[in-house]
Structure 1
Amino acid sequence: MTDMIVDSAPASGRVARKRAEVRRKLLLAGFDLVGQHGLDAFAVADLTEAADCSKGAFYSHFANRDEFIAELIAHGVETVGVALDRHGAGLPGDEALAVGLRYSLTLAQQQPRWGRFVAAVAGSARPTYTGLGERLASDIARAHAEGRLDYRDAQAVLLLASGTFLAAVIGSGLDMLRPGTPNEATRHLLIGIGVQADRALALTTASLPILIFDSVLVSSLDVSIR
């Protein structure tokens, strides 16, 4: 009887590890499929084939495709966004905006698979899957309230910032960005939406933060690479 109890713990641990590995393989396969084809251009069968597992394995982890996509977004976008939110909470609005854009674009440059994924999510017909636009709008509104931005049309400013971000992450996925592009794109954007040129230069040449987040899809930015 004692032997049976002792043996059950390792077996339970193996089952848990196997389940975790299947879930990880599904998420990694979905990460690449979204980056290559978009959020809505693949079926569960495509996903399970790419992950080399059964449909039954998929449905033992996720109730449906939408639940799977939501977890992909949580691991692939929200984990980075939350870390940036936490860091930017105590910063002036224009600095939080600059850090968020530079960090995201540099991360996309270092990890092109992530850039392709984020571009697909940001350009999807279901924007409720991501808070990228809301985060940009929040930083812009805060900077304006603090007197650091001067504009008449908030929506136009948001479109300009969103367009810069989307163009850059698409470019990162196509290997079009040079080492200094994230900083320069952010600097020109800041100047374009009302930040003084010397302030924009200072914000885009400062060291980027070391952020810690937990994801099976994206790693923290290596800030030693310039």
Structure 2
Amino acid sequence: MGYSQAQKAESRQRVLENASRQIREHGIEALGVADCMRSAGLTHGAFYGHFSSRDALILEALEHAVSQSEKRIASLATGSGKRGETPLQSIAEVFLNERHVKNPGNGCALCALAGEARHANPDVREQLTGYVRKLASRIAQAASSDSKDGGLGIVATIVGAITLARAVDDDKLAKSILSASLALVMTQDGGAR
């Protein structure tokens, strides 16, 4: 019995979700095709029915992770007023919290992969570069700022803070990194009342 197009699309989506989570948790180079397929409930042999190569899977998984982040940020920015927060505050608080630090597989791909991206292939770097630009623009908008440089500075602060908080072995220090970075980011909030 063959698979319907809907079943194939659903299987492909599961593989992308698993690969996306795995590269954010363990890095790009750690992604194993067999393990990823098994985690998606599929056989290793089914891989080439969905992707032409491991590199193609990595690019699509990264695109999936970035798309998830973009949707989350857009939702936060538009729903912030309902919670009594500015758009920048909503975004910054989602990025700069312990849950994000402890769960890289469900977090921002840029925060998870920035350190290793300099060693990645040009296609991965190009995709992350595009995301940096979009994220900086979205954050500049959320900060009610016309400055793209301001948005880039906030992105750098957030990514650096998450990277450092994940790197240290002292929970108190990690919390301090997050709170100090959040305070710094909020000084840039032109939408604060």
TM-score (ref. length: structure 1): 0.54
Task: Decide whether the 8 Å contact of 1:116 with 1:173 is kept in 2.
Answer: no
Which ranges in structure 2 are unaligned for 5 or more consecutive residues?
119-124
Alpha-carbon distance in 2 for matches of 1:64, 1:136: 31
| AA matched with 1:47 | V
Counterpart residue number, 2:144: 143
Alpha-carbon distance in 1 for matches of 2:20, 2:87: 30
Bigger relative contact order, structure 1 or 2 (CA pairs below 8 A, ≥6 apart): 1
Task: Decide whether the 8 Å contact of 1:33 with 1:42 is kept in 2.
Answer: yes
Deviations 1:178-202 (A, max 9, x none): 2x764542222232x4759xx4xx7
Counterpart residue number, 1:190: 186
Alpha-carbon distance in 2 for matches of 1:144, 1:76: 26
Which ranges in structure 1 are unaligned for 5 or more consecutive residues?
1-7, 146-150, 203-226
Task: Decide whether the 8 Å contact of 1:84 with 1:100 is kept in 2.
Answer: yes
The question of 1:32 aligning with 2:22 is answered yes
The question of 1:121 aligning with 2:121 is answered no
Task: Decide whether the 8 Å contact of 1:29 with 1:50 is kept in 2.
Answer: yes
Alpha-carbon distance in 2 for matches of 1:90, 1:114: 20
Alpha-carbon distance in 1 for matches of 2:161, 2:104: 11
Shift of 1:58: 1.4
Cα distance change of structure 1 residues 95 and 127 upon mapping to structure 2, 3 Å threshold:
farther
Counterpart residue number, 1:109: 101
Which structure shows the bigger proportion of residues in helix conformation? 2
Cα distance change of structure 1 residues 119 and 127 upon mapping to structure 2, 3 Å threshold:
farther
- Percent identical among aligned pairs is 16
Please list every run of at least 4 consecutive aligned residues from structure 1 whose deviation after the TM superposition is greater than 6 angstroms. none
Shift of 1:116: 8.1
DSSP 3-state at the match of 1:73: helix
Alpha-carbon distance in 2 for matches of 1:120, 1:87: 20
Cα distance change of structure 1 residues 30 and 159 upon mapping to structure 2, 3 Å threshold:
closer
The question of 1:98 aligning with 2:84 is answered no
Task: Decide whether the 8 Å contact of 1:35 with 1:117 is kept in 2.
Answer: no
Shift of 1:65: 3.3
Counterpart residue number, 1:161: 154
Shift of 1:111: 1.8
Counterpart residue number, 1:48: 34
Shift of 1:100: 1.4
Cα distance change of structure 1 residues 114 and 90 upon mapping to structure 2, 3 Å threshold:
closer
Counterpart residue number, 1:215: none
Task: Decide whether the 8 Å contact of 2:164 with 2:177 is kept in 1.
Answer: no
Cα distance change of structure 1 residues 61 and 158 upon mapping to structure 2, 3 Å threshold:
same
Alpha-carbon distance in 1 for matches of 2:60, 2:161: 24
Counterpart residue number, 2:49: 60
Shift of 1:85: 0.9
Count of residue correspondences = 172
Deviations 1:84-142 (A, max 9, x none): 213424768x9322211211233513524345854243452414246244222233156
Task: Decide whether the 8 Å contact of 1:62 with 1:68 is kept in 2.
Answer: yes
Counterpart residue number, 1:224: none
**Over alpha carbons, which structure has the higher Rg?**
1
TM-score (ref. length: structure 2): 0.61
Q: CA RMSD in A?
A: 4.1
Alpha-carbon distance in 2 for matches of 1:88, 1:61: 34
